[in-house]
Amino acid sequence: MSTLEIKDLHVSIDTEQGSKEILKGVSLTIKTGETHAIMGPNGSGKSTLASTIAGHPRYNVTSGTITLDGDDVLAMSVDKRARAGLFLAMQYPVEVPGVSMTNFLRTAKTAIEGEAPSLRHWTKDVKAAMANLKIDPEFASRNVNEGFSGGEKKRVEILQLELFKPKFAVLDETDSGLDVDALKVVADGVNRAAEGSEMGTMLITHYTRILRYIKPDFVHVFVDGRIAEQGGPDLADRLEEEGYDRFLPVGA
């Protein structure tokens, strides 16, 4: 079992008006096998948390720690974090010109595993995973995310999640922009990955809809860069009914 531990994390970004603090002391511990839903209104810092875990250069950690089984994640380069077992399914996956999906997936898998996967098994695994996620096989020869629709990009993120088998997956609003059928396909993929390997999941979402398909063990409500409330799955149900209004300052 592995543990991803976030302690009193403060994160700021540089803006034209100077440095702006987005995360104002976040503490959270996730163990493999657990699913945590991070919920909250727009601008509360959910995606900042996700990008900070992955190591996006835009976010400056001013204090606090992130450790993976005691190892200092913040000291690791972006690629080293991935090789250590962290995976971020991005909200807006970028198109990478010149690199075919096939080549990309194999290169990434090789980097993560430290050795090239057996070609025969790998090709079969990729095909099966693509079929499960209802991804057109023709996408394999296209460039990474190039010309993919928003929904297709999200499915390709989950494809990688299934193939790379991380210890911890952070899903940054993977449900946004998906219709209900696509949402189900994506949720099935996440559930398969969670079952197939001992994976801890941090599911960032604005809406409770995806929680019908991916059952969280814990729910955390983010407001203004802090965790305002924590609870079990029933907290999500309450948010569904009441929204985030009660967390927001009056008149906001």
Partner 1 sequence: MTDTATETTGKESRYGVPAIAGFTEEGENLSPLNEDSSPLGGDASKAHSHGGGAGVPDSSRAGRLTSYKLEDFKALTGREEDWRFTPLKRLGGLHKKAPTGAAPTLATELSDGATLETVGMDDARVGSAGIPEDRVSANGWNAAAEASVLTIGANAEDVKATLTYTGAGMEASAQHLVVVAEPNSRGLVVIDHVGSAVLIENIEFDVQEGAELTVVSVQAWEDDAIHAGSQQAKVGENAKIKHIVVTFGGDLVRLTPSARFAGTGAKVEMFGLYFADPGQHLEHRLFVDHSTPHCTSNVLYKGALQGKDAHTVWVGDVLIRAAAEGTDSYEANRNLVLTDGSRADSVPNLEIETGNIAGAGHASTTGRFDDEHLFYLQSRGIDEKTARRLVVRGFLNEVIQQIGVEELQERLNETVEAELAATDN
Nearest distance, CB of residue 170 and partner 1, angstroms: 10
* Residue number with CB closer to partner 1 (56 or 209): 56
Residue 193 CB partners (closer than 8 Å, separation 6+):
158, 161, 162, 165, 169, 199
Q: For 168, phi and psi rounded to 5 degrees?
A: -130, 130
Q: What does the block give as tokens for 82?
A: 């991935």
Q: What does the block give as tokens for 236?
A: 């999500």
Q: In this chain, which of 61, 104, 140, 228 binds partner 1, going by CB under 8 A?
A: 104
- Does 111 participate in binding partner 1 (rule CB under 8 A)? yes
Residue with tokens 């149900």: 237
**Rounded to whole angstroms, how far apart are CA atoms 69 and 84?**
10
Question: Which residues, 154 to 213, sit near partner 1 by CB under 8 A?
Answer: 160, 164
Q: In this chain, which of 18, 98, 147, 251 binds partner 1, going by CB under 8 A?
A: 98
Q: In this chain, which of 78, 116, 128, 131 binds partner 1, going by CB under 8 A?
A: 78
* Residue number with CB closer to partner 1 (109 or 220): 109
Nearest distance, CB of residue 167 and partner 1, angstroms: 13
**Rounded to whole angstroms, how far apart are CA atoms 48 and 212?**
25
* Residue number with CB closer to partner 1 (104 or 244): 104
* Residue number with CB closer to partner 1 (55 or 189): 55
Binding mask of the shown chain, residues 138 to 157, with x at each position contacting partner 1 by CB under 8 A: -----xx-------------
Residue-wise burial string across 48-72, b where 16 or more C-beta atoms lie within 10 A, e elsewhere? bbbbbbbbeeebebeebebbbeeee
HSE toward the beta carbon, residue 183, CA cutoff 13 A: 16
Nearest distance, CB of residue 147 and partner 1, angstroms: 11
What letter represents residue 42's amino acid? N
* Residue number with CB closer to partner 1 (88 or 227): 88
Nearest distance, CB of residue 191 and partner 1, angstroms: 22
- Does 24 participate in binding partner 1 (rule CB under 8 A)? no
Q: In this chain, which of 6, 38, 54, 129 binds partner 1, going by CB under 8 A?
A: 54
Question: Could you tell me the sign of the dihedral formed by the alpha carbons of 133, 1, 211, 166, in that order?
Answer: negative
Q: What does the block give as tokens for 235?
A: 């907290």
- Beta-bridge mates of residue 127: none
**Rounded to whole angstroms, how far apart are CA atoms 88 and 116?**
22
* Residue number with CB closer to partner 1 (28 or 88): 88
Nearest distance, CB of residue 76 and partner 1, angstroms: 11
Q: Which helix (H) or strand (E) holds 10?
A: strand 3-15
- Which residues of this chain interact with partner 1, rule CB under 8 A? 54-57, 77-79, 81-83, 87-88, 90, 93-94, 96-100, 103-104, 107-108, 111-112, 143-144, 160, 164
